[in-house]
Structure 1
Amino acid sequence: MIIPFRKMHGLGNDFVVLDGRPTPLAIAPAEAAAIADRHFGVGCDQFIVMEPGVDGADVFMRIRNPDGSEAGACGNATRCIASLVADEAGRDRVVVRTIAGDLPVERLPGGLWRADMGLARLGWQDVPLARAMDTLHLPLQHGAVGDPAACSMGNPHATFFVRDLDLVPVADIGPSLEHDPIFPDRANIGFAQILSPEHMRLVIWERGAGLTLACGSGACAAIVNAHRRGLTGRRATVTMPGGDLLMEWREDGHVLMTGPVATAFTGMLEFRGDASGRHA
């Protein structure tokens, strides 16, 4: 079986995108993980399958991490998929459905796309956490890094606020924080340095993916948690290694994310009946 794919990215947060709308694609988690492998597959931060949209949604976006686990939300992928569907339909606004909910996305001037990433959920059960606690101050410490805030953006996030991001060994401490028992479903771990009330730097250790150049839902969580702590306003630029997203946490609780999309290349995947027997 040969299937076309598209390699896309939002600020370097990259995706292998397959279109399962014409014909359903039964891609097993192990196959998705093999394709996501950067040495033996195409390589990506998340593996995306587009499925038919129903009941008001223009498309359903299924997201898998490089370890094969399913993700509930991915902001950069949402913009990428919305741009494909909008271009097909000749429209400037579409709705992308995920297992975490419906995400309206609109085209803006200058090649930018703005996604309504939905409500930030602040209860401990929503994140979820292992037990009842204040999500604004988690009792979690790793060396000099501690006291994160948590929320859910359709997936669990914890944000640590640090004085100097360059001094934080993210790759060393990210794995243990992701798997800390306080997070029964694991968590995306953000490290944010506040530069001003309108600007922060952010690095994300993504659940199931590791270090990425950008993370849209992580940027959503960062603006929410920073504003809750009184560190920023409701609107700020979030600078990640791959570039900038403009974030806004509206008064109604919805988080808006604005940024670019890009297609790196297209190709073909050949499936030979097992997860190890495919190439692009």
Structure 2
Amino acid sequence: MKTAVNTHLNLEGLDANDTCKLMGHAHEEVLGVATMAGLLNPAHFEVGPSGTIGLTEFGSKMAASPETTKADPETFRNLETRKWALMATEIRYFMNQGGFWGDGHSSLALLRAILDEKYEVSSEDLLDYVLGVYKNVADPLADLLDTAQTLKSQQHEPMTEEMKTAIMSALNVLYSQHKGKGLSPATRSKVANTHPGRPRLEMAQYLVGIAKNYLDMFVFSDASLKHTDPLPTKYAQQLARSLAQQKQLSTDIQSLLDAHGDES
């Protein structure tokens, strides 16, 4: 379980009711773990940056110790249910932000079904499915980020057929309609204007936005994995790669903002 200082809830875009529910789930999870471990010492708890009560490093280690666990099986089941609900709420938020209910990589189909509760899985399995999506999109995301950077660097040059093909190939993999065939009319309209200058920058910005929406979801899974001890090798490799892509994404966004300023 993450310590309080490392618990960051993304509440942007949530209304008051949903915010309260998410905060409630977070507190229930912490208190459920504390109950099972019999934690009573104030040194076991602290308030995190999002305003939620969480465990200190000391409290987390105490909770992880088998000798301290006092819960019955029903308590464990209830804790797992709350943990799943919290994770699912956060993932649904990222799915909404990215428009991934309607468009996205084909591997999102199973994740959508799980979030719709068509299949019963554990919170650990839910995290596995999110990471499974990343494994499938990591290479296409790298291509998308490279394409966006090329668009920006060639903003004043005529667009080549090779570049048009690269854009459509990346979008067909990462943002095709789940129901229907190929890209939606809305997506096609975003890359229809191939003129140099500002239209080219706006196209690059759109592609970077899609990459950001994917990587935002994996920031959440990365944060969960950082507190898995020991970290499985397969997760460590994905974690390292997604963090590298997040760093590239940040650089790409800043370069696009600078370029927009120059065009103004």
The structure in which a higher percent of residues are helix is 2
The structure in which a higher percent of residues are strand is 1
Rg comparison, structure with higher value = 2
TM-score after normalising by structure 1: 0.25
The higher relative CO (CA closer than 8 Å, separation ≥ 6) is in 1
TM-score after normalising by structure 2: 0.26
